[in-house]
Structure 1
Amino acid sequence: MRPFLSVLVLGVGLGAAPYVLPPLQSASAPRASVATIYASLCANCHGPTLQGGQGPSLVDAEWKHGDTDADIARVIREGVAGTPMLPFRAALTDLQIRAMVIHVREAQESARLGTLPPAALPLPARIESERHAFRTEVLADGLETPWGIEFLPDGALLVSERPGRLRIIREGQVLPPISGVPAVWVEQDGGLFDIAVHPRFAENGWVYLAFSETGAETGSSSTRIIRGTLRGNALVDQVTIFRPAPALYWNNNSHFGARLLFDRDGYLFFSIGDRGHMADAQDLASPYGKLHRVHDDGRVPSDNPFVGRAGAVASIWSYGHRNQQGLAIDPRNGDLYATEHGPRGGDELNLVRKGRNYGWPIITYGMNDNGTPLTDRTEQDGLEQPVVYWTPSIAVSGIDFYTGSRFPRWANDLFVTALAGQQLRRLEIRDGRVTHQELLLRGSGRVRDVRVGPDGLIYVAFNGPGLIVRLSPAD
């Protein structure tokens, strides 16, 4: 670690009293954005871009008084005796102090990585990473927002496109759309989402789809899960696995989820976001903001954690989620991991356990999208902590563990995609902790999903441009 050289200063000048912003004590009171607060209280010393002025830079990762979020919050709140850093506890609420910490973290990451270019960069043909050199090859292009990718037993790739098309890519050829896919609601976050292939697909031909559909009221929508039989190039014999009650189809087009995953025992997990109603994530009577577990025909397993509880949705496996868009099973021990979109800041990777509460919106490492505080709490007894979180948000999406043999030094590592961050990351996980992260791709488009193929190569879905890219060893 670099030596802590700089002092965190949030005053308006050496020896000067700080400008005092009236504290916002009520949760219902109007909230100033963190950018407004920073401009009023901090920019005179630290510069408008946090890179220093009369006071030191806040983006150089050098902290004399501690570099954790709690350390930074403490210095803002209490000040530092004997320095120009005065306490701001009378001027800022805990909510505003937490938002200021997020603001600093965002600026640090922007300074470290640089801003993304306005247009996607061409994919490098060859990349030297920490443990493997690899090549990138465009397997398919011209797709429209590919969302989920999954392999069929014969090695063909099944791809969903958000506007409602399902395709097969076989031997490098993108086949015509599969017929029989239900009409989907394509608005804001809505559309055709993930795909899952039944573990015994070779026997039954079953394919599962998650998508948003309209309700009886004009403009209302929700998430639906179906199972169909893939016969030739048609999806037939469809049955509904999950569909909410008609009253739960809302005029809100956000946070549909929805990722699908079969575990080792043949249970189907599916995620549904909070649908923009944050409180629903904590309400066991609502299916929203939850991870669900069912049999392959939609029946609820008798050992689900809330079976028999009055008023609870029996399919719930875990709750307190904002919007999960990545699910993967650790091949070493069967642990279930999920990625979850935070608000502004606080994207999460969680180790999901039966019946646990993951805290949204009571605790979060993020703030509102408009830069106003959401909560000052990042932890609380009885609520689960993420394995790792990302601030600023990278808009984390699909994930997969590496289980092939072509990249032996990546064995059992977790590959994580990101939309806004336009990233593919590699995470090393040991005993439920992320011990190292490596950025493999950045800036070549929004990265939606990743899958390890039966050939041991890695397949990545990009949005904007709509590509399927294959990663193979360079040597």
Structure 2
Amino acid sequence: MHTPVRVLLTLAASGFAATLLAQPAPRKDVAKIYQEICANCHGAQLEGGQAPSMLDDQWANGTGTDADLARVISDGVLEKGMPAFHSLMSEADVRAMVIFIREQRASYKRQRATQKLPGGAIPTQEHRFRIETVADGLSTPWSIAFLPDGRTLVTEKPGRLRVIADGKLQPSAIKGTPAVRDGGQGGLLEVAAHPDFAKNGWIYLAYSDPAKDKDGKEVSLTKIVRGRLKDGAWVEEEKIWQAPLELYRPGGGVHFGCRIAFDGAGYLYFSHGERGRQQDAQDLTRPNGKIHRIHDDGRIPADNPFVNTPGAFPSIWTYGNRNPQGLDFDPRTGLLWETEHGPRGGDELNLIKPGVNYGWPVITYGMNYDGSPITANTAREGMEQPVTYWVPSIAVCGIDFYEGTLFPKWTGNLFVSSLAQQELRRLVIAGDQVVSQEIVLKDIGRLRDVQCAPDGSIWVAVNDPGSIIRLVPAD
């Protein structure tokens, strides 16, 4: 009989770990091992979630050979958020896992040839809808923004800003956009139009900024700029927010955030992941693991909660946030809502309040990806509780309050996209509470963003396959 993970952890705590963990006993059910320690990041069917898919041919580490896979599983790649599992898996387990991955990839390729979006009417509790494909052939579409002139902007994670006009994806990307660090979870992330775009033409981009530290080592951190579009080119760029180079973190890595929300009063809010450095989320001298508030031109508001705190990063609005990838104002109440990825379990929906500590990593409803505990604490005085949380993780991503009338019974509801569970959820919110949830769409790919279009249709960015779809009434 194999030794369960919980027993190994118990023995480790009592001082017997050295021998047992150095040579863990082989475990027999590799599919069970995968679901226990891999699926929360890489998806239940290897489709990807908070970590990349293992079904495509894009390998973040090495070339995808058996030796590369075994090395990464055993030794990990900590700077990219991949833990080492050699203490929990024997060499036989690792080899079995490599075989399991190969089997799943082969099965996926067989099925992919006939993969199609659901056809016809799809029923939900309140409405029936059908799906239309707006654009396909995209590479990891990350964010959607609508312009008042009828155009739609879409970011592709590798660094391209695309335009959909007259219902068609334009063949060429916008020229001259910033270079990005397309590694791990980094790349070209959020695109957002200024609320007064029709007057000023400003478009905002958030991305992982590539740089080198004083020793020549590659580092990166989230950066925000704004610019305008002219004749298919990105022009008149202005820096809106950037941390000092000494605060950048090594490599491509994980947990960049980043979503942008405007409050209509001239303030811009954005989310910033903790870049895989858990304790940074509690450190007010660092910008990562926070929600920030600035003026739309990048100036620091004089009434920010920590602007007069010695050493604190002045744009911080909240802290103790892990990796926020959803941010939107409820148009009915003016309240700011945020979704953030938990670790293994513990994805959160938070109501964002100035100066509040949301607890990561001191409190959490999740655990480490290797199955070990982070902390026994889910609450502590002085730290905010999530409005709701998801265990197991759904890999929660972009959110949007529905303001349209094509689906009148959905008006005011919050739509939430997810990666690992491939779900589009509808949350009914009353004041500051979630009243109910419904899964309205599932299993058509990893859902990265959701936005209500000016005509009331609901647009969704789908990863693997890379496409933009929209929900329209079926009746």
Residue in structure 1 matched with residue 202 of structure 2 by the alignment: 206
Structure 1 stretch 353-362 or stretch 424-433: which is displaced more? 424-433
Identity of aligned residues (%): 52
Distance 2:276 2:400 in 1: 27
How far apart are residue 260 of structure 1 and its match?
1.1
Distance 1:342 1:186 in 2: 22
How far apart are residue 453 of structure 1 and its match?
0.6
Shift in CA distance, 355/49, structure 1 to aligned 2, threshold 3 Å:
closer
Distance 2:147 2:20 in 1: 51
Does residue 344 (structure 1) correspond to residue 339 (structure 2)? The answer is no
Structure 1 stretch 212-221 or stretch 161-170: which is displaced more? 212-221
Shift in CA distance, 31/208, structure 1 to aligned 2, threshold 3 Å:
farther
Residue in structure 2 matched with residue 195 of structure 1 by the alignment: 191
Distance 2:469 2:19 in 1: 44
Does residue 183 (structure 1) correspond to residue 179 (structure 2)? The answer is yes
Does residue 127 (structure 1) correspond to residue 122 (structure 2)? The answer is yes
Kindly indicate whether the alpha-carbon contact (under 8 Å) linking 1:423 and 1:443 is maintained by their aligned counterparts in 2.
Answer: yes
Secondary structure, in 3 states, of the residue corresponding to 2:321? coil
Secondary structure, in 3 states, of the residue corresponding to 2:218? coil
Secondary structure, in 3 states, of the residue corresponding to 1:247? helix
Deviation string for 1:2-50 (max 9, x for gaps)? xxxxxxxxxxxxxxxxx998465589x88999xx99x99xx9xxx9999
The aligned amino acid for 1:124 is P
How far apart are residue 403 of structure 1 and its match?
0.6
Distance 1:49 1:142 in 2: 30
Shift in CA distance, 136/288, structure 1 to aligned 2, threshold 3 Å:
same
For residue 148 of structure 2, the aligned residue among 153, 162, 169 is 153
Kindly indicate whether the alpha-carbon contact (under 8 Å) linking 2:402 and 2:410 is maintained by their aligned counterparts in 1.
Answer: yes
Kindly indicate whether the alpha-carbon contact (under 8 Å) linking 1:190 and 1:256 is maintained by their aligned counterparts in 2.
Answer: yes
Structure 1 residues 94-243: aligned runs within 5 Å? 118=108, 121-125=115-119, 126-175=121-170, 176-216=172-212, 217-243=216-242
Residue in structure 2 matched with residue 386 of structure 1 by the alignment: 386
Structure 1 residues 303-382: aligned runs within 5 Å? 303-382=303-382
Distance 2:261 2:33 in 1: 46
Kindly indicate whether the alpha-carbon contact (under 8 Å) linking 1:258 and 1:325 is maintained by their aligned counterparts in 2.
Answer: yes
Kindly indicate whether the alpha-carbon contact (under 8 Å) linking 2:9 and 2:372 is maintained by their aligned counterparts in 1.
Answer: no
Secondary structure, in 3 states, of the residue corresponding to 2:183? coil
Does residue 468 (structure 1) correspond to residue 434 (structure 2)? The answer is no
Distance 1:248 1:156 in 2: 37
Unaligned runs of 5+ in 1: 1-18, 51-114
Distance 1:366 1:403 in 2: 33
Secondary structure, in 3 states, of the residue corresponding to 1:220? strand
Shift in CA distance, 32/344, structure 1 to aligned 2, threshold 3 Å:
farther
Structure 1 residues 7-18: aligned runs within 5 Å? none
Secondary structure, in 3 states, of the residue corresponding to 2:203? strand
- Give TM-score, length-normalised by structure 2: 0.76
How far apart are residue 374 of structure 1 and its match?
0.8
Kindly indicate whether the alpha-carbon contact (under 8 Å) linking 2:132 and 2:470 is maintained by their aligned counterparts in 1.
Answer: yes
Q: CA RMSD in A?
A: 2.9
Distance 1:22 1:325 in 2: 35
Shift in CA distance, 302/136, structure 1 to aligned 2, threshold 3 Å:
same
- Give TM-score, length-normalised by structure 1: 0.76
Distance 2:335 2:374 in 1: 31
The aligned amino acid for 1:198 is H
Kindly indicate whether the alpha-carbon contact (under 8 Å) linking 1:257 and 1:273 is maintained by their aligned counterparts in 2.
Answer: yes
Kindly indicate whether the alpha-carbon contact (under 8 Å) linking 1:260 and 1:269 is maintained by their aligned counterparts in 2.
Answer: yes
Deviation string for 1:238-283 (max 9, x for gaps)? 1111111111222141111111111131311111100111100000
Shift in CA distance, 32/324, structure 1 to aligned 2, threshold 3 Å:
farther
Shift in CA distance, 171/313, structure 1 to aligned 2, threshold 3 Å:
same
Secondary structure, in 3 states, of the residue corresponding to 1:434? strand
Residue in structure 2 matched with residue 64 of structure 1 by the alignment: none
Unaligned runs of 5+ in 2: 1-6, 36-103
Distance 2:332 2:245 in 1: 41
Deviation string for 1:42-90 (max 9, x for gaps)? x9xxx9999xxxxxxxxxxxxxxxxxxxxxxxxxxxxxxxxxxxxxxxx
Q: Count residues in correspondence.
A: 386
Deviation string for 1:333-385 (max 9, x for gaps)? 01100000000000111011111000000001100111111111111111111
Shift in CA distance, 375/454, structure 1 to aligned 2, threshold 3 Å:
same
The aligned amino acid for 1:389 is Y
Shift in CA distance, 305/129, structure 1 to aligned 2, threshold 3 Å:
same
Secondary structure, in 3 states, of the residue corresponding to 2:249? coil
Distance 2:249 2:118 in 1: 43
Distance 2:280 2:218 in 1: 20
- Report which of the two has the higher share of helix: 2
Kindly indicate whether the alpha-carbon contact (under 8 Å) linking 1:31 and 1:372 is maintained by their aligned counterparts in 2.
Answer: no
* Structure (1 or 2) with the larger CA radius of gyration: 1
Structure 1 stretch 149-158 or stretch 249-258: which is displaced more? 249-258
How far apart are residue 440 of structure 1 and its match?
1.1
Structure 1 residues 391-406: aligned runs within 5 Å? 391-406=391-406
